[in-house]
Structure 1
Amino acid sequence: MELRHLRYFVAVAEELHFHRAAERLHISQPPLSQQIRALEAELDVLLLERNRRSVSLTPAGSVFLHEARAILDAVEAATEAARSAARGESGRLAIGFVGSAMHGALPGVLREHRLTHPNVALALTELPTAGQLEALASGRIDVGVLRPPVREPGLAFATIQTEPFVVALPSDHRLATQEEVALADLVEEPFVLLSRREAPGLHLSLAEAMSAAGGVPRVVQEAREMQTVVGLVAAGLGVSLVPASVGDDAHHGVAYRPVAGTAPVVELALAWRPDALSPVVEAFLVTADPG
Protein backbone atom coordinates (compact mmCIF):
# COMPACT_ATOMS: atom_id res chain seq x y z
CA MET A 1 0.00 0.00 0.00
CA GLU A 2 1.31 3.45 -0.93
CA LEU A 3 0.25 6.93 0.09
CA ARG A 4 -1.25 7.49 -3.35
CA HIS A 5 -3.71 4.65 -2.69
CA LEU A 6 -4.91 6.50 0.40
CA ARG A 7 -5.20 9.77 -1.51
CA TYR A 8 -7.15 8.05 -4.29
CA PHE A 9 -9.52 6.42 -1.84
CA VAL A 10 -10.12 9.65 0.12
CA ALA A 11 -10.94 11.51 -3.11
CA VAL A 12 -13.47 8.87 -4.19
CA ALA A 13 -14.96 8.63 -0.69
CA GLU A 14 -15.42 12.40 -0.50
CA GLU A 15 -16.78 12.82 -4.02
CA LEU A 16 -18.74 9.51 -4.08
CA HIS A 17 -18.25 9.69 -7.82
CA PHE A 18 -15.34 8.14 -9.73
CA HIS A 19 -15.36 10.64 -12.59
CA ARG A 20 -15.30 13.69 -10.31
CA ALA A 21 -12.63 12.08 -8.14
CA ALA A 22 -10.49 11.38 -11.22
CA GLU A 23 -10.79 15.03 -12.31
CA ARG A 24 -9.82 16.18 -8.84
CA LEU A 25 -6.76 13.93 -8.91
CA HIS A 26 -5.87 14.87 -12.50
CA ILE A 27 -5.88 11.25 -13.67
CA SER A 28 -8.21 9.30 -15.92
CA GLN A 29 -11.05 7.26 -14.45
CA PRO A 30 -10.03 3.68 -15.46
CA PRO A 31 -6.67 3.73 -13.61
CA LEU A 32 -8.42 5.21 -10.57
CA SER A 33 -10.96 2.39 -10.53
CA GLN A 34 -8.15 -0.14 -10.88
CA GLN A 35 -6.22 1.35 -7.94
CA ILE A 36 -9.28 1.26 -5.68
CA ARG A 37 -9.92 -2.38 -6.58
CA ALA A 38 -6.26 -3.16 -5.89
CA LEU A 39 -6.53 -1.47 -2.49
CA GLU A 40 -9.64 -3.48 -1.61
CA ALA A 41 -7.91 -6.66 -2.73
CA GLU A 42 -4.88 -5.90 -0.57
CA LEU A 43 -7.08 -5.21 2.44
CA ASP A 44 -9.43 -8.07 1.57
CA VAL A 45 -12.25 -5.68 2.48
CA LEU A 46 -14.99 -4.06 0.40
CA LEU A 47 -14.68 -0.30 0.94
CA LEU A 48 -17.19 1.00 -1.61
CA GLU A 49 -20.60 -0.13 -2.77
CA ARG A 50 -20.90 0.54 -6.50
CA ASN A 51 -23.81 0.39 -8.91
CA ARG A 52 -24.60 2.11 -12.17
CA ARG A 53 -26.09 5.14 -10.45
CA SER A 54 -24.17 5.69 -7.23
CA VAL A 55 -21.14 5.03 -5.06
CA SER A 56 -21.40 4.73 -1.28
CA LEU A 57 -19.14 3.80 1.60
CA THR A 58 -19.45 0.46 3.34
CA PRO A 59 -19.15 0.47 7.16
CA ALA A 60 -15.56 -0.70 6.72
CA GLY A 61 -15.02 2.08 4.17
CA SER A 62 -16.20 4.73 6.64
CA VAL A 63 -13.72 3.51 9.24
CA PHE A 64 -10.93 3.33 6.67
CA LEU A 65 -11.72 6.89 5.48
CA HIS A 66 -11.26 8.25 9.00
CA GLU A 67 -7.92 6.46 9.43
CA ALA A 68 -6.71 7.35 5.92
CA ARG A 69 -7.37 11.04 6.54
CA ALA A 70 -5.46 10.86 9.83
CA ILE A 71 -2.50 9.19 8.12
CA LEU A 72 -2.39 11.75 5.31
CA ASP A 73 -2.65 14.62 7.82
CA ALA A 74 0.19 13.11 9.85
CA VAL A 75 2.36 12.72 6.75
CA GLU A 76 1.70 16.33 5.79
CA ALA A 77 2.57 17.52 9.30
CA ALA A 78 5.74 15.41 9.37
CA THR A 79 6.77 16.75 5.98
CA GLU A 80 6.29 20.35 7.06
CA ALA A 81 8.13 19.71 10.35
CA ALA A 82 11.10 18.26 8.48
CA ARG A 83 11.18 21.15 6.04
CA SER A 84 10.86 23.65 8.89
CA ALA A 85 13.76 22.03 10.73
CA ALA A 86 15.86 22.08 7.56
CA ARG A 87 15.23 25.83 7.31
CA GLY A 88 16.21 26.35 10.94
CA GLU A 89 12.64 27.36 11.82
CA SER A 90 12.06 24.68 14.46
CA GLY A 91 14.08 22.54 16.82
CA ARG A 92 16.12 23.20 19.96
CA LEU A 93 19.02 25.62 20.43
CA ALA A 94 21.26 25.44 23.52
CA ILE A 95 23.05 28.72 24.27
CA GLY A 96 25.67 29.42 26.92
CA PHE A 97 26.37 33.02 27.88
CA VAL A 98 28.52 35.09 30.20
CA GLY A 99 26.45 37.06 32.70
CA SER A 100 27.57 40.46 31.39
CA ALA A 101 26.05 39.61 27.99
CA MET A 102 22.61 40.17 29.51
CA HIS A 103 23.54 43.83 30.00
CA GLY A 104 24.60 44.11 26.36
CA ALA A 105 23.34 42.91 22.99
CA LEU A 106 22.12 39.44 23.96
CA PRO A 107 18.58 40.28 25.18
CA GLY A 108 17.83 42.08 21.91
CA VAL A 109 19.17 39.18 19.86
CA LEU A 110 17.06 36.68 21.83
CA ARG A 111 13.96 38.84 21.46
CA GLU A 112 14.42 39.13 17.69
CA HIS A 113 15.06 35.40 17.34
CA ARG A 114 11.92 34.49 19.27
CA LEU A 115 9.88 36.78 17.03
CA THR A 116 11.29 35.36 13.80
CA HIS A 117 11.69 31.73 14.94
CA PRO A 118 8.89 31.09 17.47
CA ASN A 119 9.09 27.31 17.03
CA VAL A 120 12.73 27.08 18.13
CA ALA A 121 13.01 26.14 21.81
CA LEU A 122 15.85 28.06 23.49
CA ALA A 123 17.78 26.45 26.34
CA LEU A 124 19.85 29.18 28.04
CA THR A 125 22.62 28.52 30.55
CA GLU A 126 24.81 31.14 32.21
CA LEU A 127 28.39 29.90 31.97
CA PRO A 128 31.82 31.49 32.29
CA THR A 129 34.00 31.47 29.20
CA ALA A 130 35.92 28.38 30.28
CA GLY A 131 32.68 26.52 30.92
CA GLN A 132 31.35 27.51 27.50
CA LEU A 133 34.44 26.20 25.74
CA GLU A 134 34.05 22.85 27.50
CA ALA A 135 30.31 22.75 26.74
CA LEU A 136 30.88 23.55 23.06
CA ALA A 137 33.49 20.81 22.80
CA SER A 138 31.17 18.23 24.37
CA GLY A 139 28.10 19.36 22.44
CA ARG A 140 26.14 20.42 25.55
CA ILE A 141 25.62 23.85 24.01
CA ASP A 142 25.35 24.85 20.36
CA VAL A 143 26.39 28.50 20.65
CA GLY A 144 28.44 30.41 23.21
CA VAL A 145 28.19 34.13 23.97
CA LEU A 146 31.47 35.30 25.46
CA ARG A 147 34.09 38.02 25.71
CA PRO A 148 37.05 37.76 23.29
CA PRO A 149 39.91 37.39 22.78
CA VAL A 150 39.65 33.62 23.01
CA ARG A 151 41.95 31.25 21.19
CA GLU A 152 40.37 27.83 20.85
CA PRO A 153 41.06 25.47 17.92
CA GLY A 154 37.97 24.16 16.19
CA LEU A 155 35.74 27.13 17.00
CA ALA A 156 34.52 30.03 14.90
CA PHE A 157 33.74 33.46 16.32
CA ALA A 158 31.63 36.45 15.27
CA THR A 159 31.53 39.77 17.12
CA ILE A 160 28.02 41.05 17.81
CA GLN A 161 28.87 44.08 19.96
CA THR A 162 31.84 46.36 20.59
CA GLU A 163 31.61 48.82 23.46
CA PRO A 164 33.96 50.91 25.61
CA PHE A 165 35.05 50.11 29.12
CA VAL A 166 33.88 52.47 31.84
CA VAL A 167 35.38 52.93 35.29
CA ALA A 168 33.37 51.54 38.21
CA LEU A 169 34.12 53.35 41.47
CA PRO A 170 32.71 53.29 45.00
CA SER A 171 30.33 56.25 45.07
CA ASP A 172 32.38 57.94 47.81
CA HIS A 173 35.69 57.47 45.95
CA ARG A 174 37.77 60.60 45.42
CA LEU A 175 37.62 60.12 41.62
CA ALA A 176 33.83 59.78 41.60
CA THR A 177 33.48 63.58 41.55
CA GLN A 178 35.18 63.76 38.15
CA GLU A 179 33.29 63.73 34.85
CA GLU A 180 35.77 61.22 33.41
CA VAL A 181 38.69 59.25 34.79
CA ALA A 182 42.12 58.73 33.25
CA LEU A 183 43.42 55.16 33.45
CA ALA A 184 46.74 56.52 34.70
CA ASP A 185 44.90 57.69 37.84
CA LEU A 186 43.94 54.07 38.57
CA VAL A 187 47.42 52.58 38.49
CA GLU A 188 47.79 52.61 42.28
CA GLU A 189 44.18 51.66 43.00
CA PRO A 190 43.07 48.22 44.25
CA PHE A 191 41.14 46.37 41.55
CA VAL A 192 38.23 43.96 41.68
CA LEU A 193 38.12 41.81 38.55
CA LEU A 194 36.49 38.76 37.08
CA SER A 195 38.81 35.83 37.56
CA ARG A 196 41.24 35.05 34.79
CA ARG A 197 39.89 31.50 34.46
CA GLU A 198 36.25 32.55 34.29
CA ALA A 199 36.77 35.45 31.88
CA PRO A 200 40.20 35.26 30.22
CA GLY A 201 39.27 37.58 27.36
CA LEU A 202 37.91 40.33 29.60
CA HIS A 203 40.83 39.93 31.98
CA LEU A 204 43.34 40.25 29.13
CA SER A 205 41.60 43.30 27.64
CA LEU A 206 41.68 45.09 30.98
CA ALA A 207 45.32 44.18 31.62
CA GLU A 208 46.30 45.50 28.19
CA ALA A 209 44.41 48.75 28.82
CA MET A 210 46.15 49.34 32.13
CA SER A 211 49.52 48.40 30.66
CA ALA A 212 49.04 51.07 27.99
CA ALA A 213 48.36 53.55 30.81
CA GLY A 214 51.69 52.69 32.40
CA GLY A 215 50.79 50.19 35.08
CA VAL A 216 49.56 46.76 36.06
CA PRO A 217 46.23 46.42 37.87
CA ARG A 218 46.73 45.60 41.55
CA VAL A 219 44.10 42.90 41.94
CA VAL A 220 42.84 42.49 45.51
CA GLN A 221 39.76 40.42 44.78
CA GLU A 222 38.50 38.25 41.93
CA ALA A 223 34.91 37.17 41.32
CA ARG A 224 33.13 34.69 39.09
CA GLU A 225 30.31 36.99 37.96
CA MET A 226 30.06 40.61 36.86
CA GLN A 227 27.33 41.43 39.36
CA THR A 228 29.63 40.25 42.14
CA VAL A 229 32.38 42.53 40.84
CA VAL A 230 29.97 45.48 40.93
CA GLY A 231 28.79 44.53 44.42
CA LEU A 232 32.36 44.40 45.71
CA VAL A 233 33.05 47.81 44.21
CA ALA A 234 29.96 49.13 46.01
CA ALA A 235 31.35 47.63 49.22
CA GLY A 236 34.50 49.70 48.77
CA LEU A 237 36.92 46.83 48.14
CA GLY A 238 38.30 48.43 45.00
CA VAL A 239 37.65 49.84 41.55
CA SER A 240 37.10 48.08 38.26
CA LEU A 241 36.70 48.49 34.53
CA VAL A 242 33.45 47.08 33.20
CA PRO A 243 31.67 47.10 29.82
CA ALA A 244 29.65 50.29 29.33
CA SER A 245 26.42 48.26 29.09
CA VAL A 246 26.98 47.06 32.67
CA GLY A 247 27.19 50.69 33.72
CA ASP A 248 23.81 51.38 32.12
CA ASP A 249 22.18 49.63 35.08
CA ALA A 250 22.35 51.82 38.18
CA HIS A 251 23.74 50.10 41.27
CA HIS A 252 23.52 51.70 44.71
CA GLY A 253 26.97 52.65 45.94
CA VAL A 254 28.66 52.57 42.53
CA ALA A 255 29.61 55.50 40.31
CA TYR A 256 30.34 54.82 36.65
CA ARG A 257 32.59 57.24 34.80
CA PRO A 258 33.80 57.32 31.18
CA VAL A 259 37.48 56.74 30.53
CA ALA A 260 39.30 59.95 29.63
CA GLY A 261 40.68 60.06 26.11
CA THR A 262 40.35 57.04 23.86
CA ALA A 263 38.63 54.39 25.92
CA PRO A 264 39.70 50.75 25.54
CA VAL A 265 36.96 48.59 24.08
CA VAL A 266 35.58 45.16 24.86
CA GLU A 267 33.75 42.84 22.50
CA LEU A 268 30.86 40.42 22.86
CA ALA A 269 31.03 37.51 20.44
CA LEU A 270 29.31 34.31 19.44
CA ALA A 271 31.27 31.06 19.37
CA TRP A 272 30.26 27.84 17.64
CA ARG A 273 31.65 24.69 16.08
CA PRO A 274 31.71 24.87 12.27
CA ASP A 275 31.70 21.06 12.16
CA ALA A 276 28.35 21.06 14.00
CA LEU A 277 26.63 23.88 12.12
CA SER A 278 22.96 22.89 12.07
CA PRO A 279 20.23 24.92 10.31
CA VAL A 280 18.99 26.10 13.72
CA VAL A 281 22.45 27.41 14.65
CA GLU A 282 22.90 29.00 11.25
CA ALA A 283 19.56 30.81 11.56
CA PHE A 284 20.57 32.16 14.98
CA LEU A 285 23.87 33.44 13.61
CA VAL A 286 21.99 35.31 10.89
CA THR A 287 19.64 36.86 13.47
CA ALA A 288 22.55 37.95 15.67
CA ASP A 289 24.59 39.45 12.84
CA PRO A 290 24.68 43.21 13.57
CA GLY A 291 25.44 43.93 9.89
Structure 2
Amino acid sequence: MDTLETRELRYFVAVAEELHFGRAAERLGMAQPPLSRAIQQLERRLRVSLLERDRRGVALTDAGEVLLHEGRAALDATAAAARRARRAGGADSPGGPRGRHRLVLAVKAAASHELLRKLLDAYAAEPDAADIEVLPCGICEQGELLRDGRADVALMYTPFNSLAGFDSEELMTEGQIAILPAGHPLAARKALCLADVSDVPDLPLARWPSHGTYAPGPGPEIHDQTQLAQLIALGRTVAVVPDSARAWLWAEHIAVPLTDASPVVTHIAWPAHSRSLALAGLIRTAAQL
Protein backbone atom coordinates (compact mmCIF):
# COMPACT_ATOMS: atom_id res chain seq x y z
CA MET A 1 0.00 0.00 0.00
CA ASP A 2 1.64 3.27 -1.18
CA THR A 3 -1.03 5.73 -0.02
CA LEU A 4 -1.20 7.38 3.39
CA GLU A 5 -4.10 9.11 5.10
CA THR A 6 -3.68 12.56 6.61
CA ARG A 7 -4.81 11.19 9.97
CA GLU A 8 -2.06 8.56 9.92
CA LEU A 9 0.57 11.16 9.13
CA ARG A 10 -0.62 13.44 11.94
CA TYR A 11 -0.44 10.54 14.39
CA PHE A 12 3.02 9.48 13.28
CA VAL A 13 4.48 13.03 13.19
CA ALA A 14 3.21 13.67 16.73
CA VAL A 15 4.87 10.48 18.04
CA ALA A 16 8.06 11.12 16.05
CA GLU A 17 8.37 14.67 17.37
CA GLU A 18 7.55 13.81 20.97
CA LEU A 19 9.34 10.44 21.01
CA HIS A 20 6.82 9.48 23.66
CA PHE A 21 3.42 7.88 23.05
CA GLY A 22 1.85 9.42 26.15
CA ARG A 23 2.84 12.99 25.29
CA ALA A 24 1.87 12.47 21.65
CA ALA A 25 -1.57 11.16 22.66
CA GLU A 26 -2.10 14.15 24.94
CA ARG A 27 -1.06 16.50 22.13
CA LEU A 28 -3.53 14.82 19.76
CA GLY A 29 -6.34 14.80 22.33
CA MET A 30 -6.77 11.04 22.31
CA ALA A 31 -6.04 7.98 24.46
CA GLN A 32 -2.67 6.23 24.15
CA PRO A 33 -3.84 2.68 23.23
CA PRO A 34 -5.58 3.63 19.95
CA LEU A 35 -2.59 5.79 19.02
CA SER A 36 -0.22 2.85 19.56
CA ARG A 37 -2.47 0.59 17.48
CA ALA A 38 -2.63 3.15 14.68
CA ILE A 39 1.17 3.35 14.47
CA GLN A 40 1.47 -0.44 14.47
CA GLN A 41 -1.10 -0.68 11.68
CA LEU A 42 0.81 1.94 9.71
CA GLU A 43 4.05 -0.03 10.06
CA ARG A 44 2.30 -3.21 8.90
CA ARG A 45 0.80 -1.47 5.89
CA LEU A 46 4.15 0.01 4.89
CA ARG A 47 5.95 -3.24 5.75
CA VAL A 48 8.70 -1.33 7.52
CA SER A 49 9.65 -0.45 11.10
CA LEU A 50 9.32 3.27 11.80
CA LEU A 51 10.08 3.33 15.52
CA GLU A 52 12.37 1.46 17.87
CA ARG A 53 10.72 0.87 21.24
CA ASP A 54 12.49 -0.25 24.40
CA ARG A 55 12.48 0.47 28.13
CA ARG A 56 14.46 3.67 27.60
CA GLY A 57 11.86 5.15 25.25
CA VAL A 58 11.17 5.60 21.55
CA ALA A 59 13.62 6.31 18.74
CA LEU A 60 13.21 6.77 15.00
CA THR A 61 14.55 4.25 12.52
CA ASP A 62 16.03 5.40 9.22
CA ALA A 63 12.63 4.81 7.62
CA GLY A 64 11.01 6.79 10.41
CA GLU A 65 13.36 9.73 9.84
CA VAL A 66 12.38 9.77 6.16
CA LEU A 67 8.66 9.58 6.90
CA LEU A 68 8.94 12.36 9.50
CA HIS A 69 10.58 14.68 6.97
CA GLU A 70 8.20 13.78 4.15
CA GLY A 71 5.18 13.67 6.46
CA ARG A 72 5.74 17.18 7.74
CA ALA A 73 5.98 18.47 4.17
CA ALA A 74 2.81 16.58 3.18
CA LEU A 75 0.84 17.94 6.14
CA ASP A 76 2.05 21.47 5.41
CA ALA A 77 0.98 21.07 1.78
CA THR A 78 -2.44 19.80 2.81
CA ALA A 79 -2.96 22.68 5.24
CA ALA A 80 -1.75 25.15 2.61
CA ALA A 81 -4.19 23.78 0.03
CA ALA A 82 -7.08 24.14 2.48
CA ARG A 83 -6.14 27.71 3.43
CA ARG A 84 -5.79 28.82 -0.19
CA ALA A 85 -9.02 27.13 -1.25
CA ARG A 86 -10.91 28.91 1.54
CA ARG A 87 -9.40 32.25 0.55
CA ALA A 88 -10.23 31.66 -3.12
CA GLY A 89 -13.86 31.09 -2.17
CA GLY A 90 -14.02 33.94 0.33
CA ALA A 91 -14.88 31.51 3.12
CA ASP A 92 -12.39 33.05 5.55
CA SER A 93 -13.35 36.68 4.95
CA PRO A 94 -15.81 37.57 7.74
CA GLY A 95 -18.04 40.41 6.67
CA GLY A 96 -16.75 40.29 3.10
CA PRO A 97 -18.55 39.01 0.03
CA ARG A 98 -18.45 35.21 -0.14
CA GLY A 99 -16.82 34.06 -3.34
CA ARG A 100 -14.57 37.13 -3.75
CA HIS A 101 -10.94 36.13 -4.19
CA ARG A 102 -8.43 37.34 -1.60
CA LEU A 103 -4.64 37.17 -1.77
CA VAL A 104 -2.31 37.39 1.21
CA LEU A 105 0.96 39.21 0.52
CA ALA A 106 3.73 38.63 3.09
CA VAL A 107 6.12 41.54 3.54
CA LYS A 108 8.93 41.95 6.03
CA ALA A 109 7.83 44.62 8.50
CA ALA A 110 9.04 48.14 7.59
CA ALA A 111 10.55 47.04 4.26
CA SER A 112 9.90 48.19 0.67
CA HIS A 113 7.42 50.94 1.56
CA GLU A 114 7.52 52.82 -1.74
CA LEU A 115 7.59 49.69 -3.92
CA LEU A 116 4.72 48.14 -1.98
CA ARG A 117 2.61 51.28 -2.24
CA LYS A 118 3.12 51.45 -6.01
CA LEU A 119 2.31 47.76 -6.42
CA LEU A 120 -0.90 47.91 -4.38
CA ASP A 121 -2.11 51.07 -6.13
CA ALA A 122 -1.37 49.70 -9.61
CA TYR A 123 -3.03 46.36 -8.92
CA ALA A 124 -6.12 47.94 -7.34
CA ALA A 125 -6.66 49.79 -10.63
CA GLU A 126 -6.83 46.52 -12.58
CA PRO A 127 -10.26 45.15 -13.56
CA ASP A 128 -11.33 42.18 -11.42
CA ALA A 129 -8.49 42.79 -8.93
CA ALA A 130 -8.65 40.55 -5.88
CA ASP A 131 -8.61 41.90 -2.33
CA ILE A 132 -5.03 42.09 -1.04
CA GLU A 133 -4.26 41.49 2.62
CA VAL A 134 -0.76 42.69 3.56
CA LEU A 135 0.72 40.35 6.17
CA PRO A 136 3.70 41.92 8.00
CA CYS A 137 6.18 39.24 8.99
CA GLY A 138 9.41 38.86 10.89
CA ILE A 139 12.92 38.47 9.57
CA CYS A 140 13.23 35.64 7.00
CA GLU A 141 9.68 34.34 7.69
CA GLN A 142 8.32 34.80 4.15
CA GLY A 143 9.33 31.34 2.92
CA GLU A 144 7.59 29.56 5.79
CA LEU A 145 4.42 31.58 5.26
CA LEU A 146 4.35 30.65 1.57
CA ARG A 147 4.99 26.97 2.21
CA ASP A 148 2.24 26.51 4.80
CA GLY A 149 -0.38 28.53 2.93
CA ARG A 150 -0.68 31.48 5.29
CA ALA A 151 0.52 33.65 2.38
CA ASP A 152 -0.02 33.38 -1.37
CA VAL A 153 2.81 35.65 -2.43
CA ALA A 154 5.70 37.49 -0.77
CA LEU A 155 8.32 40.15 -1.27
CA MET A 156 11.69 38.48 -0.72
CA TYR A 157 15.25 39.73 -0.84
CA THR A 158 18.39 38.06 -2.16
CA PRO A 159 20.97 37.32 -0.90
CA PHE A 160 19.11 37.27 2.45
CA ASN A 161 16.11 35.05 1.55
CA SER A 162 16.24 31.68 -0.20
CA LEU A 163 14.02 31.40 -3.29
CA ALA A 164 14.39 27.61 -3.48
CA GLY A 165 11.05 25.99 -4.32
CA PHE A 166 9.42 29.23 -5.44
CA ASP A 167 8.85 31.02 -8.72
CA SER A 168 9.83 34.67 -8.70
CA GLU A 169 10.23 37.90 -10.65
CA GLU A 170 12.88 40.54 -9.98
CA LEU A 171 11.38 43.92 -9.12
CA MET A 172 14.18 46.17 -7.89
CA THR A 173 17.92 46.26 -7.21
CA GLU A 174 19.43 48.59 -4.63
CA GLY A 175 22.61 49.19 -2.71
CA GLN A 176 23.18 48.77 1.01
CA ILE A 177 23.76 51.23 3.81
CA ALA A 178 25.10 51.15 7.34
CA ILE A 179 22.72 52.51 9.98
CA LEU A 180 24.66 53.95 12.90
CA PRO A 181 23.90 55.89 16.10
CA ALA A 182 23.90 59.60 15.22
CA GLY A 183 26.66 60.41 17.70
CA HIS A 184 29.15 57.76 16.57
CA PRO A 185 32.35 58.97 14.80
CA LEU A 186 31.64 56.78 11.74
CA ALA A 187 28.31 58.55 11.25
CA ALA A 188 30.17 61.66 10.06
CA ARG A 189 31.67 59.82 7.07
CA LYS A 190 30.22 60.31 3.57
CA ALA A 191 30.74 56.63 2.69
CA LEU A 192 32.01 53.46 4.32
CA CYS A 193 33.16 50.01 3.30
CA LEU A 194 32.17 46.75 5.00
CA ALA A 195 35.52 46.51 6.77
CA ASP A 196 34.80 49.84 8.49
CA VAL A 197 31.70 48.48 10.24
CA SER A 198 32.55 44.80 10.63
CA ASP A 199 35.11 45.17 13.40
CA VAL A 200 34.19 48.17 15.56
CA PRO A 201 34.82 47.19 19.23
CA ASP A 202 32.23 49.55 20.69
CA LEU A 203 29.60 48.90 18.00
CA PRO A 204 29.24 45.20 17.05
CA LEU A 205 27.26 44.23 13.97
CA ALA A 206 23.67 43.15 14.52
CA ARG A 207 23.10 39.41 13.87
CA TRP A 208 20.19 38.19 11.77
CA PRO A 209 18.56 34.75 11.84
CA SER A 210 19.28 32.36 9.00
CA HIS A 211 17.35 29.07 8.85
CA GLY A 212 16.33 29.54 12.47
CA THR A 213 19.83 30.13 13.89
CA TYR A 214 22.20 33.06 14.39
CA ALA A 215 25.81 33.26 13.28
CA PRO A 216 28.28 33.51 16.18
CA GLY A 217 29.49 36.94 17.16
CA PRO A 218 29.38 39.65 19.83
CA GLY A 219 26.49 41.61 18.28
CA PRO A 220 22.89 41.33 19.50
CA GLU A 221 20.48 38.80 17.99
CA ILE A 222 17.81 40.77 16.14
CA HIS A 223 14.20 39.57 16.26
CA ASP A 224 12.33 42.49 14.69
CA GLN A 225 12.81 45.96 13.21
CA THR A 226 11.68 47.85 16.33
CA GLN A 227 14.29 46.08 18.46
CA LEU A 228 16.97 46.86 15.88
CA ALA A 229 16.01 50.53 15.70
CA GLN A 230 16.14 50.90 19.49
CA LEU A 231 19.51 49.16 19.87
CA ILE A 232 21.05 51.38 17.19
CA ALA A 233 19.64 54.51 18.84
CA LEU A 234 21.13 53.37 22.18
CA GLY A 235 24.56 52.95 20.60
CA ARG A 236 24.61 49.16 21.06
CA THR A 237 24.85 47.97 17.46
CA VAL A 238 25.23 48.87 13.77
CA ALA A 239 23.19 47.32 10.96
CA VAL A 240 23.89 46.71 7.29
CA VAL A 241 20.58 46.90 5.41
CA PRO A 242 19.13 47.74 1.97
CA ASP A 243 18.98 51.42 1.05
CA SER A 244 15.16 51.41 1.20
CA ALA A 245 15.42 50.96 4.99
CA ARG A 246 15.91 54.74 5.17
CA ALA A 247 12.09 54.87 5.31
CA TRP A 248 12.07 53.78 8.99
CA LEU A 249 15.07 55.72 10.31
CA TRP A 250 14.72 57.51 13.63
CA ALA A 251 16.16 60.92 14.42
CA GLU A 252 18.85 59.11 16.45
CA HIS A 253 20.05 57.23 13.34
CA ILE A 254 22.42 58.11 10.51
CA ALA A 255 22.54 56.17 7.22
CA VAL A 256 25.89 55.98 5.42
CA PRO A 257 26.26 54.32 1.97
CA LEU A 258 28.46 51.22 1.73
CA THR A 259 30.67 51.22 -1.33
CA ASP A 260 31.52 47.51 -1.49
CA ALA A 261 28.37 45.74 -0.20
CA SER A 262 26.64 43.38 -2.60
CA PRO A 263 23.42 44.71 -4.16
CA VAL A 264 20.08 43.56 -2.76
CA VAL A 265 17.46 42.35 -5.23
CA THR A 266 13.77 42.51 -4.31
CA HIS A 267 11.70 39.67 -5.77
CA ILE A 268 8.02 38.91 -5.77
CA ALA A 269 7.83 35.16 -5.07
CA TRP A 270 5.07 32.56 -5.00
CA PRO A 271 4.71 28.75 -4.77
CA ALA A 272 5.85 27.12 -7.99
CA HIS A 273 2.68 25.04 -8.32
CA SER A 274 0.23 27.96 -8.00
CA ARG A 275 -2.56 28.12 -10.60
CA SER A 276 -4.40 31.16 -9.19
CA LEU A 277 -5.61 33.59 -11.86
CA ALA A 278 -5.77 36.38 -9.28
CA LEU A 279 -2.14 35.74 -8.33
CA ALA A 280 -1.15 35.73 -12.01
CA GLY A 281 -2.72 39.17 -12.35
CA LEU A 282 -0.78 40.50 -9.35
CA ILE A 283 2.50 39.11 -10.73
CA ARG A 284 1.81 40.67 -14.12
CA THR A 285 1.19 44.05 -12.49
CA ALA A 286 4.37 43.74 -10.41
CA ALA A 287 6.48 42.90 -13.46
CA GLN A 288 5.19 46.00 -15.25
CA LEU A 289 6.14 48.42 -12.47
Q: TM-score, normalised by structure 1?
A: 0.57
Q: Quick check: 149-158 or 90-99, which moved more?
A: 149-158
With a CA cutoff of 8 Å and minimum separation of 6, indicate the structure with the bigger relative contact order. Answer: 1
Measure how far apart 1:220 and its partner are.
Answer: 1.4
Cα contact 1:193–1:229 (8 A) shared by 2:
no
Secondary structure at 2:269's aligned position in 1? strand
Q: Identify which of 145, 154, 159 aligns with 1:135.
A: 145
Cα contact 1:100–1:246 (8 A) shared by 2:
yes
**1:196 maps to what in 2?**
210
**2:266 maps to what in 1?**
268
**Partner AA of 1:224 in structure 2:** H
| 1:85-111, Cα deviation, whole Å (9 max, x unpaired) | xxxxx6211111112434352221112
Cα contact 2:140–2:210 (8 A) shared by 1:
no
Secondary structure at 2:232's aligned position in 1? helix
| 1:137-185, Cα deviation, whole Å (9 max, x unpaired) | 2222210112224445431122212111101111010111111122222
Distance 2:116 2:260 in 1: 25
Secondary structure at 1:252's aligned position in 2? coil
Secondary structure at 1:101's aligned position in 2? coil
Distance 1:264 1:143 in 2: 25
Q: Identify which of 172, 178, 183 aligns with 1:161.
A: 172
The answer to whether the aligner puts 1:101 opposite 2:133 as a matched pair is no
Shift of the 172–231 alpha-carbon distance from structure 1 to 2, 3 Å rule, reads same
Measure how far apart 1:236 and its partner are.
Answer: 0.7
The answer to whether the aligner puts 1:170 opposite 2:168 as a matched pair is no
Shift of the 138–117 alpha-carbon distance from structure 1 to 2, 3 Å rule, reads farther
The structure that is helix-richer by fraction is: 1
Distance 1:246 1:226 in 2: 10
**Partner AA of 2:205 in structure 1:** F
Look at both structures and tell me which one has the larger radius of gyration over its CA atoms: 1
**Partner AA of 1:139 in structure 2:** G
Measure how far apart 1:278 and its partner are.
Answer: 0.9
Distance 2:164 2:242 in 1: 26
| 1:104-144, Cα deviation, whole Å (9 max, x unpaired) | 52221112111225742112211236533222222222101
Shift of the 104–268 alpha-carbon distance from structure 1 to 2, 3 Å rule, reads farther
**2:125 maps to what in 1?**
115
Percent of aligned pairs with the same residue? 24
**1:144 maps to what in 2?**
154
The answer to whether the aligner puts 1:287 opposite 2:265 as a matched pair is no
Secondary structure at 2:273's aligned position in 1? helix
Cα contact 1:160–1:269 (8 A) shared by 2:
yes
**Partner AA of 1:237 in structure 2:** R
The answer to whether the aligner puts 1:240 opposite 2:254 as a matched pair is no
Residues 52-71 of structure 1 mapped to structure 2, 5 A cutoff: none
Distance 1:284 1:94 in 2: 11
Q: TM-score, normalised by structure 2?
A: 0.57
Distance 1:251 1:118 in 2: 39
**1:229 maps to what in 2?**
228
After superposition, the CA RMSD in angstroms is 2.8
**Partner AA of 1:156 in structure 2:** D
**Partner AA of 1:91 in structure 2:** H
Alignment: residue pair count: 187
Structure 1 stretches of 5 or more lacking a match? 1-89, 208-216
Secondary structure at 1:223's aligned position in 2? coil
Distance 1:240 1:265 in 2: 15
